[in-house]
Amino acid sequence: MTEGEGRYPEKQRIPADFNEPLLVEEILGGRKELFRLLVERYQQKVHAMGLSFFHNQEDAADFTQDVFIRSYRSLATFRGQSRFSTWLYRIAYNTAVNSINRRKEYHSLAEEPVTEDESPELHILRVAAQEAVRSAVAELPEKYRVCVDLYFFYDCSIREIGEITGFPENTIKSHVFRGKKLLREKLADEQ
């Protein structure tokens, strides 16, 4: 590396195993253009969270933009004590909760995109399975849905869900356990 050049070249795609705390340091050190790497990595998941709360593309897009603006402005508060994704999802969750303050609506994140390179038969099976899971998760009580989504679809640990939602860890464990039980029952009934 030459003097003044950081670890992450400007046009490089973000590697799967990159060091997020180091990247944050470089952004805070003046390489602000690198923030786009974090946006590229987390934009889809933040947008999906927006869809879960707001139920339409326009509001989800506004939400996504708002979350990344807030996270950029607060980047100096990221200490690296948790994963960057946990820190970002906490901002996203709080932004959503504050935005819907009184509506208290939440829709599951169970929908996964279907790839274009699969066979028509596999596509139909995948869509049917997604719909069954989406329907079953949608019927869960809200407190279970949030925990189940973060645990299974965002791959967050119990501790991270606590950091994101503010729920106590034992409550989260209970919500995930009960949510899984209800999902099993619901999906078994549909077979």
Answer yes or no: do 38 and 84 share one domain: yes
Of 150, 138, 148, whose CA–CA distance to 108 is shortest?
138
Answer yes or no: do 95 and 147 share one domain: no
Q: What is the pTM of this model?
A: 0.61
pLDDT in tens, 55-103: 788 888 999 999 999 999 999 999 888 889 999 999 998 888 887 654 5
Residue 11's pLDDT band, with cuts at 50, 70 and 90, is: very low
| Cα 157 → chain centroid | 12
Instruction: Work out how many domains the chain is built from and give that number.
Output: 2
The amino acid sitting at 56 is N
Residue 10's pLDDT band, with cuts at 50, 70 and 90, is: very low
Residue where a domain stops, chosen among 54, 83, 105? 105
In percent, how much of the chain has pLDDT > 70?
Answer: 77
CATH at residue 163 = 1.10.10.10
- pLDDT, residue 38, reads 92
Please say if the pLDDT value at position 1 is more than 50: no
pLDDT in tens, 56-66: 888 889 999 99
Residue where a domain stops, chosen among 79, 105, 131? 105
Q: Is residue 20 part of a domain?
A: yes
